[in-house]
Structure 1
Amino acid sequence: GELDGKPIFCSETCALDIIGATALLGAVLGGAGVIGLALGFAMRDTVENYVASLMLSLRQPFRANDLVKIDEFEGRVIRLTSRATVLMTLEGNHLRIPNSTVFKANIVNYTRNPQRRFDFALGVDPDDDATAAAELGRETLSKLPFVLADPPPEARIEEVGDSNVLIRFLGWIDQTDSDWFKARSAAIPAVKAALEGAGFGLPEPIYRLRFDPRSASLPFENIAERDGAPARPRRPRPEQPSEPADVTPSEEIDRMVEEEREAPEAKRDLLDNRRPVE
């Protein structure tokens, strides 16, 4: 019984103590504990990822080729496996995110809603009419062919800085027809050219320096006057292109995703178009 086993265990321990093997026994038991602890942590991560994959396959928070942002990671979805969610970043790199991280993360799905807003800010001279500048910029956005009329573009006077009045311009696009980055890149110079063409100044930041009058004077000198160099002429404003900017969505990343989904690994994909998206 149990009582009979205790004397035997005590005898074995005493025997180990006599031959000086107690330290060895402690090392073996301690090593087994460390290994068990490491295996426990490894199994915990594996189980978490597996359970998260089941939950994600049921929830279906995204489809293949959806443009998503998972916490700070952004890219197009390639597949959902039992361990990780695989993305193709906008730079063309593979990104594997553990499913346990994806399940607990904040997910932004840009593809779910085709309408997406872009914005940018320009600063006009404080002496100019900021309201008129905002209205001109808004009208310029409304005339761009890729900017939606509904919701309409907006212009907001945000703040008065030391050297300018900051105006934020906002416009909406349809992502199925227009690339967000290209549209924003085309809208900025269009509004800037319209403001400058109407005589609005877009000044650079001005920094005011104050010197202690008790200190020695600084050796300031006008280099242009010293060398007799003529003032640099102002460059003429470039003419606006008559053809509208090409803002059609790029297909390189889409093609890469499709190639990856045709690979043999695609058979392990847990995404199912037949299930409803959460």
Structure 2
Amino acid sequence: MLDLSAIWNKLQGMVSGFLALLPNVVLAVIVFAIFFFVARSIKRIVRRATANRRRARNLGLVLGRLAQGAIILIGLFVALSIVIPSLKAGDLVQLLGISGVAIGFAFRDILQNFLSGILILLTEPFRINDQIVFKSFEGTVERIETRATTIKTYDNRRIVIPNSELFTNSVTVNTAFENRRMEYDVGIGYGDDIQQAKRLMLEAIASVDEVLKDPAPDVLVVELAESAVNIRVRWWIAPPRRIDDLTSRDQVLSAIKQKLYVENGIDLPYPTRQILFHDQTEATDGDRTQQREGWPAGHDRHTPKARSIGGALRYLAEQKQQRNGHQPTESAKDS
């Protein structure tokens, strides 16, 4: 028979132990909450102290977060020692070491992103408000956290990129320097004067206010293409942000088109192709000494006469009849 008195005594002992431990639990929660709010306050103080210094801003973010984490960890140790008085500092360090290894295996990606975020904040390959290109993503950096970096795309979307990806892959920073060089290839006709076209292009670029005078723009012939002579137009803008890129490109290309094509009649040719159709119904098909399409004929008098598809079919039928002993008709001979 089940001994209910033993179970009741056990429950009474557990309740008595919990009630005896309850003051320590409440005190531990209060102490941990104090450490938590102190950690948040120290983080804010460090960030404010470095907010007005661009070079030290990211360093302030790192130090603030590290200080917050360290203080919270100390508060956790103190709270555990209040709840469990027999727990010594050595036991806490040993527990931290064992749990650290387990957490490291379980949260390897999170720790990798955390360390990458710390290194990004310290080395500063890019900063907040920089415009970057990462793989197929392009936009303005909004936040750099210890786990991920957030960018805002030009079409008003938010992209969250893990820091380990940013740290181990190539990132293009479009706003890393004060100036940025733009370029575009313009094709003119082979019959146009190259020097005149280059001079007119420079005049067109100089008329755009967004283009810097120093460094000066330049124009260079870069290719003798199939349908045009390609001239590369290069100019500098500041600041090098996306909107300035689009604005200057729009005004420069519009000015060049107006100056060359409209005002001076310089051709801006589009690609042209010459297509040779090969009539495979001719009797000379495959004979390169006599065939007309695709390569030179061997001699004018051997050049075969053009024949329609219907005439070619009649010619082949009459050749077959001739081999069978029939005579060809006059109409087939003239086809």
1:192 has 2:257 as partner: yes
Relative to the length of structure 2, the TM-score reads 0.50
Structure 1 residues 174 and 93: CA distance shift in structure 2, 3 A: same
**RMSD (Å), alpha carbons:** 2.3
**What secondary structure is seen at the aligned counterpart in 1 of 2:107?**
helix
Residues 45-103 of structure 1: CA distance to partner in whole angstroms, max 9, x if unpaired? Answer: 11211111111121122222111223442111111112100000111100011000111
- AA at the equivalent of 1:189: S
State the AA in 2 paired with 1:203.
Answer: P
Do residues 206 (structure 1) and 241 (structure 2) align?
A: no
For structure 2, list consecutive stretches of 5 or more residues without a partner in the other structure.
1-102, 282-306, 310-335
Q: Deviations over 1:246-269 (max 9, x none)?
A: xxxxxxxxxxxxxxxxxxxxxxxx
Q: Distance in 2 between matches of 1:111 and 1:73?
A: 15
Q: How does 1:246-257 map to 2 (within 5 A)?
A: none
Please name the residue that 1:45 is paired with.
Answer: 109
1:167-214 superposed Cα distances (whole Å, 9 cap, x missing partner): 111111111797111110111111011011212111121110012255
Would the aligned equivalents of 2:132 and 2:171 in 1 still touch at CA under 8 Å? Answer: yes
Relative contact order, CA 8 A, sep 6+: which one is greater? 1
- Asked whether the equivalents of residues 155 and 169 of structure 1 are also in contact (C-alpha less than 8 Å), the reply is yes
Q: Which blocks of at least 5 consecutive residues in structure 1 are unaligned?
A: 1-38, 219-278
Contact persistence 2:218–2:235 (CA under 8 A): yes
TM-score w.r.t. the length of structure 1 is 0.59
What is the CA–CA distance in structure 2 between the aligned matches of 1:167 and 1:41, rounded to whole Å?
Answer: 57
| One-letter amino acid of the structure 2 residue matched with residue 183 of structure 1 | S
1:145-172 deviation per Cα after TM superposition (whole angstroms, max 9, x unaligned): 1111111111111111222111111111
Instruction: State the 4+ residue runs in structure 1 displaced beyond 3 angstroms.
Output: 39-42, 213-218
User: Aligned partners of 1:40 and 1:210: how far apart in 2?
Assistant: 68
- One of 150, 155, 159 as aligned partner of 1:86: 150
Distance 1:209 1:54, change over 3 A: same
How far does residue 141 in structure 1 lie from its aligned partner after superposition?
A: 0.6
Other structure's SS at 1:140 match = helix
Contact 1:85–1:99 (CA<8 Å) still a contact in 2? yes
> Which residue of structure 2 aligns with residue 5 of structure 1?
none
Q: Work out which of the residue numbers 115, 123, 127 in structure 2 matches 1:63.
A: 127
- Aligned equivalent of 2:227: 163
Q: 1:126 Cα deviation (Å)?
A: 0.9
**Is the alpha carbon distance of 1:210 and 1:168 closer, same or farther for their aligned partners in structure 2, counting shifts above 3 Å?**
same
Instruction: Give the Å deviation of 1:44.
Output: 2.1
Letter in 2 for 1:175: P
Q: What amino acid is the match of 1:169?
A: V
1:180 is matched with 245
Percent identical pairs in the alignment equals: 32
Q: In structure 2, the residue corresponding to 1:179 is in which secondary structure?
A: helix
Question: What is the rounded CA distance, in whole Å, between the counterparts of 1:166 and 1:176 in structure 2?
Answer: 26
Residues 1-278 of structure 1: matches in 2 within 5 Å?
A: 43-175=107-239, 179-196=244-261, 197-215=263-281
